[in-house]
Amino acid sequence: MVWKPHVTVAAIIEQDQRFLLVEEKTPTGIAFNQPAGHLEPSESLIDAVKREVNEETAWQFIPEYLTSIQLWRKNPDFPSFMRVCFVGHCYNHKPEQALDEGIIRTHWLTYNEIVDHKSQLRSPLVLTTIDQYLAGEHYPLTLLTTFLDLE
């Protein structure tokens, strides 16, 4: 059997010292997460994060830089995830747009409010990447190159 991590993307979006998070239904209950999701076939990582932010929040997203690329597994009995975390800003909100299945609502939360929800975060990576962002860790999008369907 070949081991393969799940490839996911996530977005850190800060506006007026508040971060955009989604409240979502998970197999273990209600959780708070950054807009995030899985990479789809024939999709670049940048296209994936734009799509996921739109599907989960009804906002258009412009990624500006990366803050982290992480390999994470909760424990040996769980799947592994390769998570690419982007930082950027939103524009053109469409509040009438239906949100992705499982998304209850969106929230703009302060850092302290996120810490207060620490036990409800989808993974420890949510707060870890916000801390990395606040510490000034950022890397250019040019680190990511897509070579799909080349002859």
Give all domains of the chain, ordered by start, each with its CATH number.
43-73+87-105+122-143 (3.90.79.10)
Burial of 12: CB neighbours in 10 Å, binned 0-12, 13-18, 19+? buried
Do 8 and 84 touch, CB atoms closer than 8 A? yes
pLDDT in tens, 11-65: 999 999 999 999 999 988 999 999 999 999 989 999 999 999 999 999 999 999 9
Band (pLDDT 50/70/90 cuts) for residue 150 is low
pTM of the model: 0.94
pLDDT in tens, 89-139: 999 999 999 999 999 999 999 999 999 999 999 999 999 999 999 999 999
SS (H, E, C) the chain: CCCCCEEEEEEEEEECCEEEEEEEEECCEEEEECCEEECCCCCCHHHHHHHHHHHHHCCEEEEEEEEEEEEEECCCCCCEEEEEEEEEEEECCCCCCCCCCCEEEEEEECHHHHHHCHHHECCCHHHHHHHHHHCCCCECHHHCCCCCCCC
- Phi and psi at residue 129, to the nearest 5°: -70, -30
